[in-house]
Structure 1
Amino acid sequence: MARITPNSASSVSRRVREIIQTRPSIMDALSLRIVNYSALARVLQNEIGEGSLEAVKAAVIRVANEITEERLLREEAVKSILRDSKIRLQDKIGVVISPKRLDIPHIVTAHLTDQYVYIVDQTSLKGELPAQTQYQKDLVALILLSPPRVETTPGFVAFVTQMLASRNINIV
């Protein structure tokens, strides 16, 4: 049996937390309380390579309790923002990606390192686009008008993205 010192217990706990935080599926399962803690502890102990099974399991349970509480609070904050948001849909949207700056009517543009991305109303886009330009059309914009607290609430975009993905709605 491995001897546990205060430093090694702290190290095991820290490593368990780090590994769990990098795996959203494990975090989800822990927050839903649908995990066999002993089985997860065995997997993590093998990955960590140190600490006793009991120490790893205790760390898993501590992390699970923290995650559950944090997720409930965060989810409630996100749902509150969604309740206070207005939603608009706009169809006939296109996305133009070009290596060169274009003089086209656009709703939004972003200059990335090696390309320009334009969100356009496809009904106002006339004429041919230059070669090497990518164009996706017949898209729909989902516009959320949310209260200012959305900027300081972690997880809002992740929550909305997950809701859309679970309904087979893709984000371009």
Structure 2
Amino acid sequence: MAEKSVAKIVWDYISLHPSIHDCLIYNLINHSALTRKIMGETGIKKKEAVLAACKRYPKGKEKVREKGILNILQNSKLEIRNKIGVIIIPNSWHLFPKLEVATHKLIREGKELKIIQGSLGITIIATEELIHTLRGMLGKENILSERKGLAEISVTSPRTIEETPGIIAYLSSALAANGINIVETVSCYTDTIFILEEKDILEGFEVLNKCMQIKYP
């Protein structure tokens, strides 16, 4: 196996393991221990080549990227809404007319809802009251799944978020590291929206608020 191929395998391994990647960027990891771990999991036998690849892993762009993320978050704001519900209906053409009539009526009334179309289902996020109304308009028999007792945290950022990679991953990782489950995630223009269980909303708000106060060294 050529050294160049070893380097590519090592760099791919690091980039696909976020915890290792972050520790390496900040020089918080033992290169020898990392070398042994990578060799054990990839089957590479050339210790010196793996060690050299770990030491040469590019770090400059990542630090610039994190600086951009933190700058955007410092200029973002948080909003919370409770009593949120989610329903999922089949992604089936015969339901589209009902969905069109329902959404048209509700939007004309000034109601707010979020609709995400997937390959097998259509997810609708709205207030619990609105979810109840939609269930009646779409038909109970067409509801694949329904959840209540949820809350929404919306992060509204400057327009530069559109050109800055990693913000959703950064915030999601912070929530996950604190044991907070994300029920749904929606990204729309400058808004990044997390749907959480209501019991997690205060802790989730605190975690995201702390993320927005971190200053790049």
Distance 1:51 1:168 in 2: 37
Instruction: Give runs of ≥4 in structure 1 deviating > 4 Å.
Output: 46-51
In structure 1, the residue matched to 2:74 is: 83
TM-score under structure 1 length normalisation: 0.81
Q: Report the structure, 1 or 2, having the larger helix content.
A: 2
Measured after TM superposition, the shift of residue 117 of structure 1 is 0.9
Gap regions ≥5 residues in structure 1:
1-6
TM-score under structure 2 length normalisation: 0.66
Specify the code of the residue in structure 1 equivalent to 2:34. L
Measured after TM superposition, the shift of residue 132 of structure 1 is 5.4
Q: Where does 1:38-53 land on structure 2 (aligned, <5 Å)?
A: 38-50=32-44, 52-53=46-47
Q: Does 1:94 align with 2:88?
A: no
Gap regions ≥5 residues in structure 2:
107-111, 184-217
Measured after TM superposition, the shift of residue 50 of structure 1 is 5.0
* Counterpart selection for 1:158 from 166, 169, 175: 169
Q: Does 1:74 align with 2:34?
A: no
Specify the code of the residue in structure 2 equivalent to 1:90. R
Measured after TM superposition, the shift of residue 30 of structure 1 is 1.4
State the structure with more CA Rg: 1
- Matched length: 163
In structure 1, the residue matched to 2:214 is: none
Percent identity at matched positions? Answer: 31
Distance 1:25 1:166 in 2: 11
Distance 2:180 2:33 in 1: 34
Specify the code of the residue in structure 2 equivalent to 1:131. E
Measured after TM superposition, the shift of residue 11 of structure 1 is 1.8
Measured after TM superposition, the shift of residue 25 of structure 1 is 2.4
Q: Does 1:147 align with 2:158?
A: yes
Q: Structure 1, residues 49-77: CA drift from partner, whole Å, max 9, x if none?
A: 556322221111111xx23x333222221
Q: Does 1:168 align with 2:179?
A: yes
In structure 1, the residue matched to 2:48 is: 54
Specify the code of the residue in structure 1 equivalent to 2:87. V
SS in 1 for 2:126: strand
Q: Structure 1, residues 75-103: CA drift from partner, whole Å, max 9, x if none?
A: 22111111111221111111111125343
Q: CA RMSD in A?
A: 2.3
SS in 1 for 2:178: coil
Distance 1:158 1:9 in 2: 32
Measured after TM superposition, the shift of residue 47 of structure 1 is 4.6
